[in-house]
Amino acid sequence: MANSRSAEKRIRVNELKRARNASQRSALRTTIKRYEAALANDPANAPAHLQKAIKALDKAAAKGLIHKNAAARKKSRLTRRLAQQA
C-alpha cells in the first residue's frame, strides 16, 4: 500500500511499463516462432523471417528488454539453424 502521492505514481508508472514490456516481449517471441515455423515449413522464405527476427532482437536489446549478449546469442543460434538447413 502506497503511503505518498509519489509512491502511488510509481505504482502506476511501473504497471504501465510492465504491461508494455510484456507486450513487446510477446511480440519478440512471436517473431522468432514465425521464423522457426518458416524454417520447418517454408525454407524459401526463412531468410526473410530471419531478418525480421534479428531486427526484433536488436530493437529489444536497444530498449533494454533483453540483454545485448542474450540478443547476440539468440541471433547466432537462429542464423546457425538456417545455415544447417542449407
Which pLDDT tens digit goes with each residue over 17-54?
A: 999 999 999 999 999 999 999 999 999 999 999 999 99
The number of beta carbons lying within 10 Å of the beta carbon of residue 48 is 12
pTM attached to this predicted model: 0.89
Residue 21: the pLDDT is 97
Of the candidates 30, 49, 41, the one whose C-alpha atom is nearest the C-alpha of residue 78 is: 49
Which residues span the domain enclosing 48? 5-85
Which CB contacts under 8 angstroms, 24+ apart, belong to 41-49?
43/85, 46/82, 46/85, 47/82
Q: For all residues of the chain together, what is the average pLDDT?
A: 96
- Chain Cα centroid distance, residue 38: 17
Average pLDDT over residues 60-70: 97
Number of domains in the chain: 1
Extract the C-alpha cell encoding 5: 502521492
Residue 67: the pLDDT is 98
